[in-house]
Amino acid sequence: MQSTMLSAGDPIEARCTKCRKNTDQVIVTMAEGNPDKVRCGACGREHKYRPPTAAKRPSTRKTADHKDDERKEWKLLRPGMKVEKAADYSMTDPYKVKMLINHPVFGLGLVQRVVGSQKVEVLFEDGKKTMRCK
Ligand SMILES: [Zn+2]
């Protein structure tokens, strides 16, 4: 067991509720080997020690948010889609923006963007997917 051996007067990174972020703080008092009171080096406020918040991982969170947004977009657009106009998806067919397709796996989809010469971005109930086309 290795002790960090902190004591009053030591600098420590902690969360400051006033600054609303992790700041460099100084330990004012210790309690049972742990920081008790600390003073924020940024705003000078003394308060109870709060461990610094872990850095967020934006990449993974963003992906989840993105999916949510796409599902919301689907719900928003779904009432305006004329199902009877949807054509069965075939990668040998040409597609244009705003066309509706019926995919055997993903279901009803709305073509939203031509991505490349033979690819379109399609919004399905489960989110956007890039599909091959002619
Ligand atoms: Zn502060």
Specify the pLDDT at position 7. 94
The pLDDT, as a whole number, for residue 117 is: 84
Task: Find the 14 Cα to ligand 1 centroid distance in Å.
Answer: 9
Summarised one tens digit per residue, pLDDT across range 104-122 is: 999 999 999 999 889 999 9
Look at residue 59 in the predicted model and tell me its pLDDT: 58
Amino acid 62: pLDDT = 58
- Residue 123 CA to residue 1 CA, distance in Å, equals 54
Mean pLDDT, the chain, as a whole number? 90
Instruction: Provide, rounded to the nearest whole percent, the portion of the chain with pLDDT above 70.
Output: 90
Ion ligand 1: residue ranges with CB closer than 5 A: 16, 18-19, 40, 42-43
- Antiparallel, parallel or unpaired: β 119-124 and 107-116: antiparallel
Give 69 Cα–ligand 1 centroid separation in angstroms: 35
State pTM to two decimals: 0.53
Identify the pLDDT of residue 54: 79
What spacing in Å lies between the alpha carbon of 49 and ligand 1's midpoint? 11
- Here the tokens at position 7 are 């004591």
Mean pLDDT calculated for residue range 56-69: 69
Centroid of ligand 1 to alpha carbon of 39 (angstroms): 8
Q: Please, are residues 131 and 125 in contact by the beta-carbon 8 Å criterion?
A: no
How far is Cα 108 from Cα 75, in angstroms, rounded to an integer? Answer: 12
Whether the predicted pLDDT of 57 surpasses 90: no
Compute the distance from residue 58 Cα to the ligand 1 centre, in Å. Answer: 24
Strand residues in 1-134 grouped as ranges (E): 11-16, 21-31, 34-40, 46-48, 87-88, 100-103, 107-116, 119-124, 127-132
Which pLDDT belongs to residue 134? 85
- 3-state helix, strand, coil split of the chain in percent (to 5) is 20, 40, 40
C-alpha closest to that of 131 among 97, 122, 85, 123: 122
